[in-house]
Amino acid sequence: MKPTTLPEARVRIDALDEQIQGLINERARVAEAIRDIKAKAGDVGDHYRPAREAEVLRKAMERNAGPISNETMAKLVREIMSACLALESPLTVAYLGPEGTYTQEAVYKHFGHAVEARAKRAIDEIFRDVDAGHTAYGVVPVENSIGGVVTNTLDELASATLTICGEVLLPVHHHLMAKVDRIDQIKVVFSHAQSLTQCRNWLHQSLPHATQAVVASNGAAAQQVAETGQGAAIASKAAAERYGLNVLASNIEDDPSNTTRFLIIGRKLSDPTGRDKTSLVFSAQKGAPGALFELLQPFAKAGINLTKLESRPSRRAAWDYNFYVDIDGHCEDAQIKPVLDEIRSRAALFRVLGSYPQAVI
Ligand SMILES: O=C(O)C(=O)C[C@]1(C(=O)O)C=C[C@@H](O)C=C1
């Protein structure tokens, strides 16, 4: 029955909270039982299961009847699952720091807040850290809807022995922040090269005479401005709060739908979920006419959707390239496996960088 008075409504909410809390702890005890089942089966290593997590989140969205939105409901379930996983075993995740970067936001969006997020200074450091086993997973930016690819990440992926086990899509809203409180006092703007590109028109119109200076991350830009008091930074609202800066202008990205895609790197192969992506890197025989066409044609013939195609210098020889391709589907899917085998047999270099669930939230 719908309560009609405030005291009545609050008594009802207290009773429901008690029930929800009891159920969350019951779920946590099941997660502890899963840990013991995995140990008995000799399943060593961490307990993170990307395919199962995607399934849990998709189910939460599919059965949701409102009034809470599907996305908000999935985020709540995300946090409960994160707490359950931390009970099974704590999870460490390296990200492009310092605190307050968009990459840190991507970590929490993907893994929830119960993980131990460790800030690193550069993308290659994240790859090295995960490769050496110091952290179980890493989160790296790979492309932005305005600025395009993050070349460091693509170059690292080509030589890494790690695998991609997830992706995160994060809407990115930039803010100009400083110690001072007037925009006409700003002579220099610090940020990551990608963020400066994403705000190019705004900077041209609003700060045409300011110098632009590239630093390792937008979190580092905010930290530096806070420490020196010099200039302004382009970074996230979280960074302004973290470093105590004044926000002088909000949402200054040139396209309000600005989104960055991040990858989760680790050693875990993700099981097929029915809604997956596969990332590949390959190279064609240099100088052979139609060589790239030969490598892409099997996808078209099998009706496989390509979601991305990028080329990067191979670093083997001048004017020799690696091609990075993302496709819909999992490398173990019956429709995909023979196509990949065919391309492997034609390519000079071929590697599956990972198959992983498509981003859910
Ligand atoms: O299903 C599992 O393997 C679990 O460990 C449980 C659980 C969960 O809480 O639902 C926790 C962590 C995994 O990443 C996936 C799911």
Task: Please give the pLDDT value at position 152.
Answer: 93
Question: Which CATH number belongs to the domain containing residue 326 in this structure?
Answer: 3.30.70.260
* Nearest CA-CA partner of 127 in 135, 166, 116: 135
Is residue 275 domain-shared with residue 335, that is, in the same domain?
yes
pLDDT of residue 45: 86
Rounded to 5°, the CA angle 151-356-299 comes to: 80
Per-residue pLDDT at 196: 96
Amino acid 296: pLDDT: 96
Overall number of domains in the chain: 4
pLDDT averaged over 10-residue windows placed end to end, the chain, 361 residues: 95 98 98 95 92 98 97 98 96 95 96 98 95 97 93 94 97 97 96 94 97 94 97 97 97 95 96 98 89 95 97 91 97 97 95 98 94
1 in any annotated domain:
no
The residues assigned a catalytic role are 260, 262
Query: How confident is the model at residue 287, as a pLDDT?
Result: 80
Quote the ligand 1 centre to 77 CA distance (angstroms): 12
pLDDT at residue number 116 = 97
Looking at 198, 216, 250, the residue that finishes a domain is: 250
CATH number at residue 75: 1.20.59.10
Q: In testing the pocket of ligand 1, which one of 85, 89, 137 has its CB within 8 Å of the most ligand atoms?
A: 85
Amino acid at 316: R
Ligand 1, atom nearest to 53 Cα: 15
* Closest approach atom of ligand 1 to CA 84: 9
**The Cα angle at residue 56 between residues 53 and 60, in degrees rounded to 5:** 140
Alpha-carbon distance 347 to 342, whole Å? Answer: 9
Q: Which residues have CB under 6 Å of ligand 1? A: 31, 34, 47-49, 52-53, 56, 81, 84-85, 88
Pocket test for ligand 1, best of 84, 270, 271 (most atoms within 8 A of CB): 84
CA 35 to ligand 1: nearest atom: 5
Are 246 and 181 in contact by the 8 Å Cβ rule? The answer is yes
Q: Which of 23, 25, 48, 52 to mutate to test the pocket of ligand 1 (most atoms within 8 A of CB)?
A: 52
* Residues 193, 212: Cα–Cα separation, whole Å: 9
Position 76 in a domain: yes
Residue nearest to atom 10 of ligand 1 (CA): 81
R_g (Cα) of the chain, nearest Å: 23
Q: What is the model's pLDDT at position 286?
A: 81
Same domain flag for 348 and 277 = yes
* Domain span at 236: 175-250
